[in-house]
């Protein structure tokens, strides 16, 4: 196929990372596994560094984080899937409810996964008598690399691509027509993943914000919201929803606005 001037051909990457007979392991699934394990490891590192915490003592133990890992996985998967069903394609799943369990076909919502994680954090913190905001801080400071890997997997799957563009780095995606498009998955991987992780690490290590329960949690969701709203101007909205409010507003923007407000509140709340 002849490419438009300045367009980049989509790299030939098999969405299946490993094939063992009938067993297929997709890059998307690996991104979840590696991202969760890295977040768990980094969270353990944070709670094991006394100087980051008020009075040089973490309110969370590594053993408690180990126990929380299962809660986190359940919250992410259930929240992400149900969030996608409710926010993005409810009519389709109401017509065929069994498809809700077909996770291998894709369909996960970050906003739903975040809500599921918040519920898991709240329930676990109450059960173990842990400071809710401190646990949220640790999780918020640890998940950036997981988000980065997830967005890279979106790119490999040639899904969630952007709007048509004439920029030099426009990519011609399979299923996206002949015109180059913004590689919006890569924009998100950088802003919502790498930059977010670097910012949270700076707040924790350089500014000692883990000593102020709730601040890093607020910074995490506020930065994600701002980044997501920005990228939505370049990302093509889900086909079944399209644009809202006259052709510029998207569901991603709508869902991110409450996050931005909550994040600002978290950062400004009285932590004493």
* CA gap 155, 272 in Å, rounded: 43
Report the pLDDT value the prediction gives residue 26, as an integer from 0 to 100. Answer: 87
And the tokens for 261? 């407000």
Report the pLDDT value the prediction gives residue 138, as an integer from 0 to 100. Answer: 98
β-pairing verdict for 23-26 and 16-20: antiparallel
Percent of the chain at pLDDT exceeding 70: 95
Three-state SS at 1: coil
What average pLDDT does the structure give for the chain?
91
User: Does residue 104 carry a pLDDT above 80?
Assistant: no
Q: Where are the extended beta strands (E) located within 154-259?
A: 171-172
CA distances from residue 207 to 49, 96, 159, 200, 204 in whole angstroms, order as listed: 14, 50, 37, 10, 6
* CA gap 155, 137 in Å, rounded: 29
Confidence label for 75 from pLDDT (cuts 50, 70 and 90)? very high
User: Does residue 108 carry a pLDDT above 90?
Assistant: no
Residue range 125-155, pLDDT digits in tens: 999 999 999 999 999 999 999 999 999 999 9
- Cα torsion angle, 170, 172, 173, 178, sign: positive
């Amino acid at each position: 196929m002849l490419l438009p001037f300045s367009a980049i051909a989509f790299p030939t990457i098999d969405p299946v990372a490993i094939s063992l007979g009938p067993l297929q392991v997709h890059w998307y699934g690996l991104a979840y596994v590696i991202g969760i394990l890295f977040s768990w490891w980094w969270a353990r590192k944070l709670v094991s560094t006394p100087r980051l915490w008020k009075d040089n003592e973490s309110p969370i133990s590594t053993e408690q984080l180990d126990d929380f890992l299962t809660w986190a996985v359940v919250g992410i998967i259930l929240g992400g899937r149900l969030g996608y069903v409710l926010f993005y394609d409810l009519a389709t799943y109401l017509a065929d409810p069994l498809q809700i369990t077909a996770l291998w076909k894709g369909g996960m919502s970050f906003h739903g996964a975040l809500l599921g994680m918040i519920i898991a954090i709240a329930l676990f913190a109450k059960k173990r008598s842990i400071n809710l905001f401190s646990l949220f801080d640790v999780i918020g400071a640890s998940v950036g690399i997981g988000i980065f890997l997830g967005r890279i997997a979106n790119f490999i799957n040639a899904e969630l691509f952007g709007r048509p563009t004439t920029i030099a780095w426009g990519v011609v995606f399979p299923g996206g027509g002949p015109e180059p498009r913004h590689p919006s998955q890569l924009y998100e991987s950088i802003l919502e993943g790498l930059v977010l992780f670097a910012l949270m690490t700076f707040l924790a290590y350089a500014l000692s914000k883990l000593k102020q329960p709730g601040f890093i949690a607020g910074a995490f969701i506020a930065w994600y919201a701002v980044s997501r709203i920005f990228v939505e101007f370049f990302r093509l909205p889900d086909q079944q929803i399209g644009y809202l409010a006259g052709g510029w507003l998207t569901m991603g923007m709508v869902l991110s606005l409450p996050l931005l407000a909550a994040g600002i509140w978290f950062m400004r709340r009285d932590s004493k």
